[in-house]
Structure 1
């Protein structure tokens, strides 16, 4: 059973996940309304976010280290206040340079969440797969409502409000978190006993596959989520006539990802990871090929299938870390995973900008981009075939959920 302290921790971790992904995707939607203010094209403005995505990956390593050695709870508080202040600064930007610095700071503070929040969730969850699934839903809703909220605020109050109002809300969450969640040790579970039972060669094989899937998946994830508002804006003119309408359609497609994470989270508690990993990864390349050329409802269906596969894959990858990593090292393990993922995903932003400019010049728009992403999707599927199959891992994971005293040392909340 979860204590009231653990429940509060999980609530704030889930809220932080929504804030993290929402703030990283405010700019890709707000940029549709910012060209006139800065006198730059879509591709030129979008390139300003590269620093933020680089920081999103690079800063995860020190964030995970501080979470393990200092305090995961305090690091999450830094996340709330830092990302809120950075967003407010972005909303106050009057120059391209100031905007680029602000976006980089958003990425810097956003990097704290995944290594710290993932470890906090694993330490306080009574049912691992279920909580990872629900946590993924919150992150996906952050992505979904980034498009809807940003488009709405930009349309009715201007693009600056799209940064400033969410920034102020994040700082209020930080204040509530400090008041309601003390810096107490997390419950000690028997996961360390189970992780020690995993043969070294099996663990190394799992992490090698995870590394490949993380790098290729990071490019697909970021390129797809960054480009979707513009893709819908270009191809769905018959279905929507405003940026708010585009945001609503993007939000609806991301809901499919939320459904995926609920479903996959439950499956993680019942089946081996490989049994879920292989069919889920097989879905990505076909959906990317559909998105490359489809329009109207065909595009929406392809995008919904793609988001189901992408976000379901995130849930599987997070479960891999917990199944193969000891508690005392978990923040650093998450940090390494997200360092690889977000460092690779930083390459997606210039890739989107560059291939869109080429496509726009030839009348193809995003066709070439999504064909390239389909190749990455095929790489994810091929890597899944080499993931170790351990039929007994579900029973072992169930045993690890029971309270115990085998952890090397309690992790700080």
Structure 2
């Protein structure tokens, strides 16, 4: 089925914004190396500085969700693009590591707005949500892959302050484009749902809405997303280092004779590229496969993949490349399913709050696997690390199975309460 004009307009708007969020996010680790030398500070201090930017990205999702339920989604996304771009550009004039920290903090607060706002916009404005969620996810992966690649490449030719300005320019262009974009943000809702813009976000209403959400099937969705976040962060944070340490990788010379690059870097990029295909396939499948069953199947696949990593690592480079392609495909195929689950199991008038809690679980609570993974890799074997990830996926499959049993008791978009209009 071809996308309608409104679906295409929302898709283009959110695809551009989502790619840029992760474009900025993944440029920072490359710049971290530059700041270490530029400001002659310790890795510990720079790590804290970068954490100041990443922490609000996840922790700010719930407050951002409350804003989404009160204000117009398009304007919030445009504000997010403008604020991110300006905050990132301000890094170019930072005189010290402490002003770097201030700029990154502002960037993180601005970036936290996007996922609740962008996903709420898709869930209420798009008829063919599965396809648009797929393209939306692919755009995120493109930003994840291109952000560090473009940053590293530009640093080969230009001074880092100029590189930051060049990286910020696409955000400025996207902001201008967003101001000119036109679409109906409530096209997927029933007329009676879209009619009334009245809503309160008083503390009492927020508490009541939160209690209502977590007393419903959304609690299971939240647990699913948190478990996805634990597997996702644990895998992608340590996979580059794990690949570098494999004897199979060390036996194969890099196709580029640069000391900073290794074959493991190329394989890691391959994981992200394969993830783009997984995003698209997962999004299309949400139109044909019940969301809870899709979640169960993908969790089971991820559990099995984690268990066989160590045996596969000893089979040679071809086996590793094939394995990483399947891992990347499955790891990102699950994203459209949990995004669709939020749209299916929550009322439209709390959609922003729902996606806020979702990304608190994904980026906030899910980040716990970073510290836990470091302990496991340092104190135990690689097999224990991947067995732990497999256990996380098994628990995820069990929780998703409860959604299968509870499939008849959810709230859908069409039966939700009124939502605000977004006349642009």
TM (norm. structure 2) is 0.79
> Of 263, 285, 289, which residue of structure 2 is paired with 1:271?
289
Cα separation, 2, equivalents of 1:95 and 1:44:
12
Q: In the superposition, relative to structure 1, how do residues 346 and 316 fare at CA in structure 2: closer, same or farther (>3 Å)?
A: same
Counterpart of 2:74? 73
1:153-183 per-position Cα deviation (integer Å, ceiling 9, x unaligned): 233335545543222211221122113348x
Counterpart of 1:312? 333
Unmatched 5+ stretches in structure 2: 194-211
Cα separation, 2, equivalents of 1:24 and 1:148:
12
Aligned positions of 1:127-146 closer than 5 A: 127-146=128-147
> Of 379, 382, 387, which residue of structure 1 is paired with 2:403?
387
Counterpart of 1:254? 272
Q: CA offset at residue 190 of structure 1? A: 3.2
1:216-274 per-position Cα deviation (integer Å, ceiling 9, x unaligned): 22132233334444445555453535456665543322111111111111111112112
Cα separation, 1, equivalents of 2:162 and 2:367:
26
Alpha carbons 1:131, 1:265 under 8 Å: kept? yes
Q: In the superposition, relative to structure 1, how do residues 315 and 61 fare at CA in structure 2: closer, same or farther (>3 Å)?
A: same
Counterpart of 1:54? 55
Aligned positions of 1:118-197 closer than 5 A: 118-157=119-158, 159-160=160-161, 163-181=164-182, 186-187=186-187, 189-190=189-190
Q: In the superposition, relative to structure 1, how do residues 53 and 212 fare at CA in structure 2: closer, same or farther (>3 Å)?
A: same
Counterpart of 2:234? 223
Cα separation, 1, equivalents of 2:153 and 2:244:
15
> Of 363, 373, 376, which residue of structure 1 is paired with 2:389?
373
Counterpart of 1:411? 421
How many residues get paired?
395
Counterpart of 2:86? 85
> Of 337, 341, 344, which residue of structure 1 is paired with 2:362?
341
1:109-151 per-position Cα deviation (integer Å, ceiling 9, x unaligned): 1111110000111222121211111111111211122232233
Unmatched 5+ stretches in structure 1: 194-200
Alpha carbons 2:17, 2:81 under 8 Å: kept? yes
Higher mean Cα deviation, 89-98 or 60-69? Answer: 89-98
Q: In the superposition, relative to structure 1, how do residues 19 and 32 fare at CA in structure 2: closer, same or farther (>3 Å)?
A: same
Cα separation, 1, equivalents of 2:334 and 2:309:
19
Q: In the superposition, relative to structure 1, how do residues 306 and 2 fare at CA in structure 2: closer, same or farther (>3 Å)?
A: closer
Counterpart of 1:331? 352
Alpha carbons 2:293, 2:400 under 8 Å: kept? no
Q: In the superposition, relative to structure 1, how do residues 411 and 222 fare at CA in structure 2: closer, same or farther (>3 Å)?
A: farther
Alpha carbons 1:192, 1:406 under 8 Å: kept? no
Higher mean Cα deviation, 332-341 or 150-159? Answer: 150-159
Q: CA offset at residue 54 of structure 1? A: 2.0
Higher mean Cα deviation, 164-173 or 222-231? Answer: 222-231
Cα separation, 1, equivalents of 2:105 and 2:231:
21
1:75-115 per-position Cα deviation (integer Å, ceiling 9, x unaligned): 11111011112222334445333333333332211111110
Higher mean Cα deviation, 320-329 or 237-246? Answer: 237-246
